[in-house]
Amino acid sequence: MPKKEVAASHHSTLSAQPRIHQYAREIQAYGTVSSMMTLELEEPVRLEMTEQLNLLLADTMTLRDLYKKSHWQVAGPTFYQLHLLFDKHYDEQVEIVDTIAERIQLLGGIALAMAADVAETTRIPRAPRGREEAPVQISRLLDAHQVIIRHCRQLARRASQLGDDGTNDLVVSDVLRINELQAWFLSEHLVEVPLVHAEEPPIRKAG
Ligand SMILES: [Fe+2]
């Protein structure tokens, strides 16, 4: 091709217009892992760990959203403290979501991200759209923590069995411990203790 034409065709591809509406094939299919030789973890190990971590991710995203729902919809005399507590736990779950998702990516896998995919994957029962009373909100959150805590213990054990110490550490230090702590903070709200008047002391028998 003469030099003049090369220059002309090159010139025609330059434009200030953004190239919108671009679509192409996926570069990696969900459920696969890319080769990450530097990690010294075999592909079957990374496949199993990324699959398990995606379950943990979907449940954590669901719990995260359940906290925001509770933060918005809570009612009653404890409104203010629960409103703040739910949002604090929400923020902590947001951090956990990012930690799990990035672990999946660094293992060569693909992290779930979108709400519809999360809804199809989570083991936490679907909450109603409507508003529920505070004790029901707290019970629902505790049940969700229980699903996650149970899975964390299984997954941590399996990860160390397979030699994936990084996943074991992440699951125990970053996910399990925070969930245990949050479950404690919630469950103390379901203890029935008097707000103003202490219970009557037991009557002593004379003699
Ligand atoms: Fe808020």
d(CA 120, CA 115): 9
Inside any domain, residue 85: yes
Inside any domain, residue 195: no
Inside any domain, residue 20: no
Compute the distance from residue 5 Cα to the ligand 1 centre, in Å: 60
Compute the distance from residue 78 Cα to the ligand 1 centre, in Å: 16
Q: H helices within the chain, ranges in order?
A: 3-13, 43-73, 79-106, 115-121, 134-161, 165-169, 177-187
Q: Is the pLDDT of residue 196 over 60?
A: yes
Please write the tens of the pLDDT for every residue from 26-84: 999 999 999 877 999 999 999 999 999 999 999 999 999 999 999 999 999 999 999 99
DSSP 105-165: HHTT-----SHHHHHHH--SPPPPSS---HHHHHHHHHHHHHHHHHHHHHHHHHHHHTT-H
Q: Is the pLDDT of residue 146 over 50?
A: yes
* Angle of helix 177-187 versus helix 79-106 axis, rounded to 10: 160
- Look over the chain and give the mean of its residue pLDDT values, rounded to a whole number: 93
d(CA 124, CA 136): 15
d(CA 176, CA 62): 16
pLDDT for res 202: 78
Inside any domain, residue 149: yes
Compute the distance from residue 55 Cα to the ligand 1 centre, in Å: 27
Contact partners, residue 163, CB within 8 Å, separation at least 6: 41, 45
Please write the tens of the pLDDT for every residue from 108-126: 999 999 999 999 999 999 9
Q: Is the pLDDT of residue 1 over 50?
A: no
The pTM (predicted TM-score) of the whole model is 0.89
Residue type, 95: E
Please count the structural domains in the chain: 1
CATH of the domain at 119: 1.20.1260.10
37: Cα separation from own chain's centroid: 28
Compute the distance from residue 132 Cα to the ligand 1 centre, in Å: 18
Compute the distance from residue 84 Cα to the ligand 1 centre, in Å: 8
Compute the distance from residue 9 Cα to the ligand 1 centre, in Å: 54
Q: 200 falls in which pLDDT band (50, 70, 90)?
A: confident
Could you list the residue range(s) of the whole structural domain that residue 106 is in? 31-190
